[in-house]
Chain A
Amino acid sequence: EVQLVQSGAEVRKPGEPLKISCKASGYSFTSYRIGWVRQMPGKSLEWMAIIYPGDSETTYGPSFQGQVTISADKSISTAYLQWSSLKASDTAMYYCARPISGSVDYWGQGTLVTVSS
Chain B
Amino acid sequence: DIQMTQSPSTLSASVGDRVTITCRASQRISSWLAWYQQKPGKAPKLLIYKASSLESGVPSRFSGSGSGTEFTLTISSLQPDDFATYYCQQYDTYYNFGQGTKLEIK
Contacts and interface: CB of A to CB of B under 8 A. Distances in A.
Contacts of B49: 101-103
Interface stretch (A75-83, A84-92, A104-112): A104-112
Contacts of B96: 47
Interface string B78-106: 00000000010101001111111000000
Interface of A is mostly: strand
Contact of B44 (A45, A59, A99, A101): A45
Nearest to A102: B91
B95 A47 contact: yes
Contacts of B34: 102-104
B32 A108 contact: no
Given A45-B87, A62-B1, A101-B91, 10 more contacts: A45-B100, A46-B97, A47-B97, A50-B95, A59-B94, A102-B34, A102-B49, A103-B89, A103-B91, A104-B34
Contacts of B43: 95, 107-110
A44 B44 CA distance: 11
Contacts of A17: none
Contacts of A109: 43
A45 B96 CA distance: 8
A99 B87 contact: no
Nearest to A107: B43
